[in-house]
C-alpha cells in the first residue's frame, strides 16, 4: 500500500469510497431528472415544448389562440362578464411547469359564484410565451 493511501478499518481506500459516493449521486441525479421529464410529459402532454394541455383547478385546458398581447388578453377577459356583472379580474395563477415555468394568467371566478352558478374556476388560461406574448388555453369540454 502506498504511504499516502489511507484506508478505513474494513480495508477500503478513501478514494474508492469517494468514487462509490460520486457514482451513487450521479445515478440518483439521472433518476430524478428522468422522473421529472416523464412527469412533465404525463401532466402537460409534451416534451418541454408549450403544453398540449394544462391542468388547473380540477379541469383541463387545451391550446387555443397563439400570439396574443397582454392588451388582447385583457380585452378578451373584459368580454367574459355575466349579464349585469363585471368581468372577473385578470390575476397570476402560477407557472407552468411549477417553479421554473412560464407565468399563467386567468380571470378566476370567485368561489361563492362558482358554487352558486356551477361554473369552473376560469373559462380560459393565458400562458406567457414571450415578452408581451401569450397563448390562450380554453376549457376542454363544457362548463
Please classify residue 47 by burial: count the beta carbons closer than 10 Å to its beta carbon, then call 0-12 exposed, 13-18 middle and 19+ buried.
Answer: exposed
Please, what are the averages of pLDDT over each run of 10 residues along the chain (143 residues)? 57 83 95 85 71 89 93 90 76 82 89 82 92 94 68
Q: Is the same domain home to 37 and 63? A: no
Q: What is the pLDDT of residue 28?
A: 96
Name the β-bridge partners of 133. Answer: 130
State the total domains in the chain: 2
Distance CA 121, CA 108 (A): 5
Q: Is the same domain home to 93 and 124? A: yes
Taking a C-beta distance cutoff of 8 angstroms, is the pair 49, 41 a contact? no
User: Would you state the cell numbers that stand for residue 51, as one nine-digit string?
Assistant: 403544453
Of 10, 34, 49, which residue constitutes the final position of a domain? 49
Q: Is the same domain home to 45 and 58? A: no
User: Would you state the cell numbers that stand for residue 123, as one nine-digit string?
Assistant: 373559462
Range(s) of the domain holding residue 30:
1-49
Name the β-bridge partners of 125. Answer: 106, 137
Q: What is the pLDDT of residue 64?
A: 92
Q: Is the same domain home to 20 and 88? A: no
Q: Which pTM was predicted?
A: 0.68
Query: Which single residue is written with the C-alpha cell 474494513?
Result: 10
Q: Is the same domain home to 41 and 94? A: no
Q: What is the pLDDT of residue 31?
A: 95
Taking a C-beta distance cutoff of 8 angstroms, is the pair 53, 60 a contact? yes
Q: What is the pLDDT of residue 38?
A: 84
Q: Is the same domain home to 14 and 44? A: yes
Q: Which residues contact 92 (CB under 8 A, 6 or more apart)?
A: 103, 104, 105
Q: Is the same domain home to 44 and 92? A: no
Q: What is the pLDDT of residue 91?
A: 93
Q: Is the same domain home to 34 and 102? A: no
Distance CA 6, CA 19 (A): 14
Amino acid at each position: 500500500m502506498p504511504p499516502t493511501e489511507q484506508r478505513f478499518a474494513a480495508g477500503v481506500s478513501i478514494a474508492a469510497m469517494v468514487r462509490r459516493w460520486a457514482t451513487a449521486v450521479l445515478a440518483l441525479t439521472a433518476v430524478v431528472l428522468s422522473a421529472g421529464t416523464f412527469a412533465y410529459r404525463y401532466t402537460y402532454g409534451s416534451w418541454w415544448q408549450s403544453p398540449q394541455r394544462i391542468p388547473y383547478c380540477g379541469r383541463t385546458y387545451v391550446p387555443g389562440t397563439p400570439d396574443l398581447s397582454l392588451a388582447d388578453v385583457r380585452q378578451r377577459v373584459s368580454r367574459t362578464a355575466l349579464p349585469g356583472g363585471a368581468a372577473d379580474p385578470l390575476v397570476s395563477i402560477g407557472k407552468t411547469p411549477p417553479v421554473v415555468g412560464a407565468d399563467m394568467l386567468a380571470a378566476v371566478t370567485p368561489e361563492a359564484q362558482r358554487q352558486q352558478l356551477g361554473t369552473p374556476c376560469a373559462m380560459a388560461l393565458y400562458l406567457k410565451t414571450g415578452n408581451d406574448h401569450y397563448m390562450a388555453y380554453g376549457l376542454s369540454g363544457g362548463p
